[in-house]
């Protein structure tokens, strides 16, 4: 019993010391010392402590600022990632449109034409050839890199320059009529 109590006291003393260091880092960071945030990451990692809320918010804001700075200028260390993410999101919209067409009973021979019609006039549009190449690239890359096409909650497509593309009802009515023509009046 005595050994356990002594060990608990040692852990409490260490926790108090770490908390004191974390508080010191917070004060330094608030005064403009960005390196203090790195120390917090070190302490929390080494001693398996949760990251303080202020440090989580600071990291989020620093990352957000670096992405936002790179977007309009297309320069900076995040510019290449932003450009790639933008293209990936465009590829995702095109690929999902192709898959939606297939689910609605469009035959493979007509699927790229149908996807082209659906996306025509939108930022995600492209020729039938482009949509076919994009779809094949999407299928290949999503197998090799499963997280590549993840829709991020904190970085929206409008942040990367691609506006949201709403589904156009009249196009889906056309897709449905193509399906009926190809399959008769049977439901898919």
Q: Does one domain contain both 85 and 40?
A: no
Residue 188 lies in a domain: no
The total number of structural domains that make up the chain? 2
Q: Does one domain contain both 84 and 166?
A: yes
Q: Does one domain contain both 49 and 84?
A: no
d(CA 175, CA 105) in angstroms, rounded, equals 9
Residue 87 lies in a domain: yes
Residue 40 lies in a domain: yes
Q: 91 exposed, middle or buried (CB, 10 Å; 0-12, 13-18, 19+)?
A: buried
Q: Does one domain contain both 160 and 179?
A: yes
| Maximum CA extent, the chain | 84
Q: Does one domain contain both 84 and 105?
A: yes
Helix spans in 31-168 (H): 35-46, 53-73, 79-103, 108-119, 128-144
Q: Does one domain contain both 69 and 132?
A: no
- Residue 164 lies in domain: 80-183
| pLDDT tens figures, 147-170 | 888 877 666 544 444 444 555 666
Residue 27 lies in a domain: yes
Domain termination residue (choose one: 20, 53, 73):
73
Mean pLDDT across 21-28 = 90
Residue 111 lies in a domain: yes
| pLDDT tens figures, 99-152 | 999 998 899 999 999 999 999 888 888 999 999 999 999 999 999 998 888 877
pLDDT for res 159 = 43
Q: Does one domain contain both 50 and 84?
A: no
pLDDT for res 144 = 94
d(CA 156, CA 158) in angstroms, rounded, equals 5
Q: Does one domain contain both 112 and 57?
A: no
Q: What is the CA radius of gyration of the chain?
A: 26
| pLDDT tens figures, 36-81 | 888 899 989 998 899 999 999 888 888 777 766 656 566 666 677 7
DSSP 3-state percent helix, strand, coil across the chain (nearest 5): 70, 0, 30
């Amino acid at each position: 019993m005595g050994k356990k109590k002594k060990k608990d006291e040692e852990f409490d003393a260490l926790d108090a010391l770490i908390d004191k260091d974390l508080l010191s880092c917070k004060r330094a960071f608030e005064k403009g010392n960005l390196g203090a945030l790195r120390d917090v990451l070190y302490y929390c990692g080494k001693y398996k402590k949760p990251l303080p809320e202020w440090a989580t918010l600071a990291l989020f804001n620093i990352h957000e600022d670096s992405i936002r700075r790179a977007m309009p200028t297309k320069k900076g260390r995040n510019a290449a990632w932003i450009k790639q993410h933008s293209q990936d999101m465009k590829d995702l919209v095109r690929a999902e449109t192709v898959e939606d067409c297939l689910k609605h009973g469009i035959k493979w021979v007509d699927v790229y034409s149908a996807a082209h019609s659906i996306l025509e006039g939108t930022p995600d549009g492209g020729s039938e050839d482009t949509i076919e190449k994009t779809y094949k690239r999407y299928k290949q890359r999503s197998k090799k890199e499963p997280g590549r096409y993840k829709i991020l909650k904190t970085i929206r497509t409008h942040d990367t320059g691609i506006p949201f593309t709403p589904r156009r009802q009249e196009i889906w009515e056309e897709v449905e009529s193509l399906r009926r023509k190809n399959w008769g009046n049977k439901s898919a």
